Structure 1
Amino acid sequence: MKTTGNTIFISGGSAGIGLAIAKKLNAAGNKVIINGRNAERLQKALTELDQAVAIQGDLSVEEDRVRIANDLKTNHPDVNIIINNAGTAFAYLLSETIGAHEKAAIEMNINYFSIIHFTELLLPHLLLQDGAAVINISSIAVFGSNKMLPTYGASKAALHGYTVALRQTYEDQDNLQVYEVYPPLVNTDFSAEIGGANGIPASEVADELFLALDKNQFDVPVGDSKLFFQQTK
């Protein structure tokens, strides 16, 4: 698909992987709309982007999802790409934690249910655009759980299953493409408590996504995630 001249909404776009993707796509000549919960962080991110727009809100909350979707359709009717990047993860051991089900519920809501709903809210609009895309940021955790992230992997595996089904549903629709990005450990604040300092730079995820868009490569493994794709060939 085209990699310039798009209007792109990026959830969790004020820091980490989301901001790196925003910078990459913005520099390529795309209009970028970033979303996040923290107003101060959003404003700081805007200083690193050219003529970008911010929409504050918490996509884990249904009321905010509806408001943001309506804002996009009303005030940014040319939006043709949504990147579902916002997510959360809890690092803990099942043997040492009471309330794993509560943590899992939060992860599933943010990493899975909210993405389904937000995408559903925007799909009718996207289907009217030329060169539309839904891009879901999943994880290397799709390929196997880690005891330090015991319920996070399940939420990303659920997102993966949804993404595959969404792609199959619209595979005959020429104007809508569905991508999935599989980052490994990335050096961001998000992953700090699980050794993120040893991870790849967020810019590497952005670079791989940009190349994949240019090639219409719908599965986008990054770093160590590429090993899992090589094993299936």
Structure 2
Amino acid sequence: MIDLYAWPTPNGFKISILLEETGLPYRVIPVDIGKGDQFNPDFLKISPNNKMPAIVDADGPGGRPYPLFESGAILMYLAEKTGRFMPADVAGRYRVIEWLMFQMGGIGPMLGQAHHFRRYAPEKIPYAVDRYTNEAKRLYGVLDRRLGEVEYMAGSDYSIADMATFPWLRKPEGQGQNIDDFPNVKRWFAAIDARPAVQKGLQLLKEHQSSGPMDAKQREIMFGATQYQRR
């Protein structure tokens, strides 16, 4: 059994999608980041960077419980555990890792910043909005060129690189992008979105998925002094 500590965000969806794709048994333990659950001392023992998602695999290496944080590391671990969505050969394996790192180092942080400064920042800072919107456009372009050459990010096979990237591209308008400008990304996105396991994974804590504005308390917890306290 995998305990998945998560909240319905792009990083949380990465793991729920992979768990649904593999059929591994799991249970979800909500980490309400708007209420500050990520700062709970028990959670910090699993995820010292106070970020979700994190997992505890009850049947980890040596048959002992194994905690793991960082979504990219979790994806790699679960892919290796199941022998799926990560090639065994060196060339194929590192092609997946290469594009997974593209998501971890580029797509996630930069699109997240674009979304933040366009939607959540208390004041509109034109320089920040332009910088991250333009960087999001550049990254969409990199991905579009790649997907004009191959079916999936790492080649002909669907992999954890696709699962990692897909949730971040569900709301391109929030990043200042028009998906019609990137036809190869649009084709790839539709193919992944049609997978039954993906749709199940996107139901993660559905009852907590919010489309409304963040209140002042949530904003302070997420982006204010609470986030930066030493623990």
Q: Is TM > 0.5 for Structure 1 vs Structure 2?
A: no
TM bucket (normalised to shorter chain) is 0.3 to 0.5
Which structure has more helix as a fraction of its residues? 2
Which structure has more strand as a fraction of its residues? 1
TM-score (normalised: structure 1): 0.35
TM-score (normalised: structure 2): 0.36
Higher alpha-carbon Rg: 2
- Higher RCO (C-alpha 8 Å, min separation 6): 2
